Structure 1
Amino acid sequence: MKTSALLLIFGLFLTACNAPQNAAVAPSPTENDATAQPVQNQTKSKLIVVTTVAPITNIVSNIAGDRTEVKGIIPEGTDSHTFEPRPSDADLLSKANLIIVNGLRLEAPTEKLAKTSKPKETNVYELGNNTINEAQWIFDFSFPKEKGDPNPHLWVNPKYAEAYAKLAAKQLTQLDPEGKEYYAQNLNNYLQRLDALDKVSREVVASIPAKNRKLLTYHDSWAYWAREYGFEVIGAIQPSDFKEPSAQDVAKLIDQIRKTGVPAIFGSEVYPSKVEEQIAREAKVKIANTADDELPGTGSANAIENTNPQHTYIGMMANNLRIIAENLGGNPQLVDKLNTTNVVGPATTATK
């Protein structure tokens, strides 16, 4: 029996010695392996929301805050009507968990790429189409009814910007139900800022003599604002094909300005043109530039990363109100009370 026991022990020893050198050895339960983090402790990647023009990007980012990564796809200072997405944009769109666009046929090439690049489960949500119905569409100089595309610039009207913010909050909550309270708080704070913008807009308009409440702009983006605040849009320099106006068009505009007695016309920072200077010179009126999709302030061109406190949708509209008031006989100082900063994200200040 002693001999059998010794042989058994010797056999076990040989087996251990002949084991493969690279055999895995389970770590002790007490060992701390920094590379083996439990799944629940790993950082959860943020959801990605892709937007289009800078004002919409800024509105959405004020609701999304730091829970969601918001990326604007159309560079500021770019014509959103004719913008052609870059090859790299297809990759970004394919990774998006949600794509928020203005709709109303503003970003047709981008929407087309989004629908071909996105995963099937990704939603492309159109803000404009869910804010007004077809009976509320406006057709005008740059967007004639015979072409079929309505004026898509709803966000220039602060009341529609409020609707955009509410719709964005709803979409973000559906995407990220755990952030419901966070999005609701951001929305509440942001709506206070937009309500203040609406009130100041009405005060500025009231300060402008009634006979001067007329707009002639380069690109016709003020239609919904004018309808809301009692202005008349008397014309647009840029034709519906987005080309430069003909000599005949220019002559008609000069004659119209003289007849209406409007003291100023408004160009565009996105559509620089010497034609507007010619019109102003010959009609003997002032000229100033407004913006509808380029946010003010220097720094990063990205609407999210820029930390300038004026580089916001409200900052853009505040600048526009000042310019309109200064050139049409109103009181631009009324705008000074506005808080133009974000409610969350870069350049945030407390809600007043």
Structure 2
Amino acid sequence: MKLTSRRHRATSAAALGSILGLVLAACTGTPGSSGQPTAGVPSPAPDALRVVATTTVLADMVQEVGGEHVSVHSLVPKGGEVHTFDPTPSDATTVADAQLLVMNGLGLDEWLGYIAADAGGGNIPVVELAEDLEGVTYLEGDEHEGEDEHEGEDEHEGEAFNPHLWLNVQYTILYVERLADTLIEVDPDHADAYAARAAEYVAELEELDSWAREQMATIPDENRRVISFHEAFPYFAQAYGLEIVGTVIDAPGQDPSAGEVTALIDAVRDEEAVAIFTEAQFPTTAAERISEETGVDIVGELYNDSLGDAPVDSYLGMMRWNVEQVVEALQ
């Protein structure tokens, strides 16, 4: 289990330090409801552990394991974008008041470490759910994610890995097991409850994974070559038998150049991709141009970093939705 205090870069610390100064001087607000997981949330007990997660996906996992013994807030709101998230003064206050911080790691949400450090949060426990998990085949990331995450640390030093492990349900089970261990360590008075809820959730995840594999197995072999919007789905593809032959954008927040769009159009034709999948929180302009030039349909809005409204207001619902969209499009 990785339970640490985060280091941070001085360049980002200065900016976030200014934010925190404004907060502590003039702000005592509480987190807004837009940052809370929404699916079947129990009312927290009076002594509930205050947990702050970076995304709604991770917050939902915390809620599933913690139940009434946790009060969970997601910094990136529903429909938000973790890659380009810009912390606010209210976020700094929320982090400073937390008793546990939950992040993905692998460069996806390193900004949480900057906030925690500048909030004087060196003593707040932090768990990075994706780091150094046994049994995971880490896939290569790009230069925009994880490039300095491993500076001076562990056996992955200097490497960049794709951080979207949770789109393989088997890897999410590893997240949940680490999360349960962390909650038990931080709040041992409720250890039995955490262990029991984690076991129930893992059983649901195992059922989801089996269903997903059965559904994905119905896709014809010749229809398994697709274009994704960005590098979020390699673990999904690896687990469930797709081949991603290209992505519309290199990194969130960076529109593709004309040359990159042209190269992708050529790749779609050469690789005989059968579908272009968009993502709910991103514009579709570039994908639409590629579709117009190649005749390959844009199909389905997939979810990855953020939950949405029902039926995608939980991790379980999000993954069911993604599988259903993919299977329907590729039959």
Which interval holds the TM-score relative to the shorter structure? 0.7 to 0.9
Does residue 328 (structure 1) correspond to residue 321 (structure 2)? The answer is: no
2:245 to 234, 247, 254: 234
Distance 2:144 2:234 in 1: 10
Distance change (3 Å), C-alpha of 1:91 and 1:140: closer
Q: Retained in 1: the 8 A contact 2:107–2:146?
A: no
Whether 2:324 is the aligned partner of 1:313: answer: no
Aligned position for 1:217: 228
- Larger of the two Rg values belongs to structure: 1
Pick from 301, 305, 308 the counterpart of residue 293 of structure 1: 305
Which of 169, 187, 194 pairs up with 1:176?
187
Q: Which runs of 5+ in 1 are unaligned?
A: 1-42, 298-307, 330-352
TM-score, with length taken from structure 2: 0.78
1:193 to 184, 204, 217: 204
Check conservation: 1:138, 1:224, Cα contact below 8 A.
no
Deviations 1:105-135 (A, max 9, x none): 1112222112221444311111111426997
Cα drift, residue 140 of structure 1: 5.3
Aligned to 1:52: 54
Deviation sequence 1:51-85 (CA, Å, 0-9, x none): 01111111111001001111111112222112121
Q: 1:274 aligns with which of 271, 282, 285?
A: 285
* Maintained 8 Å contact 1:156/1:317: yes
Whole-angstrom CA distance in 2 between matches of 1:125 and 1:90? 18
The answer to whether 1:163 aligns with 2:165 is no
Shift of 1:143: 5.6
Residues 23-55 of structure 1: CA deviation (Å, up to 9, x unaligned): xxxxxxxxxxxxxxxxxxxx8532201101111
Indicate the SS of the match to 1:324. helix
1:342 maps to: none
Equivalent position to 2:254, from 243, 246, 270? 243
Query: Over aligned residues, Cα RMSD in angstroms?
Result: 2.4
- Partners in 2 of 1:291 and 1:236 — Cα distance? 15
1:205 is displaced (CA, Å) by: 1.8
- What residue in structure 1 maps to residue 165 of structure 2? 154
The answer on whether the counterparts of 1:141 and 1:239 sit within 8 Å (CA) in structure 2 is no
Q: What's the secondary structure of 1:100's corresponding residue?
A: strand
Q: Which amino acid aligns with 1:316?
A: M
Closer/same/farther in 2, CA of residues 237 and 154 from structure 1, 3 Å limit: same
Amino acid aligned to 1:235: G
| TM-fit CA distance, 1:241 | 7.2
Pair 198,245 (structure 1): closer, same or farther in 2 beyond 3 Å? same
2:233 counterpart letter in structure 1: W
Alpha carbons of structure 1 residues 144 and 236: separation in structure 2 relative to 1, 3 Å: farther
From the superposition, tell whether residues 196 and 135 of structure 1 become closer, same or farther in structure 2 (CA, over 3 Å).
closer
Provide the rounded CA distance (Å) in 1 between the counterparts of 2:60 and 2:167.
13
User: How far 1:195 moved relative to its partner?
Assistant: 0.5
User: Does the C-alpha gap of structure 1 residues 134 and 149 become closer, same or farther in structure 2, counting only changes over 3 Å?
Assistant: farther
Larger mean CA deviation between 197-206 and 223-232 belongs to: 223-232
For 1:144 and 1:123, how far apart are their aligned partners in 2?
Answer: 21
Cα distance in 1 for residues equivalent to 2:291 and 2:312? 29
**CA-CA distance at 1:323 after TM superposition:** 0.8
Unpaired runs of 5+ in structure 2? 1-44, 149-157
| Contact 2:96–2:120 (CA under 8 A) maintained in structure 1 | yes
Identity %: 31
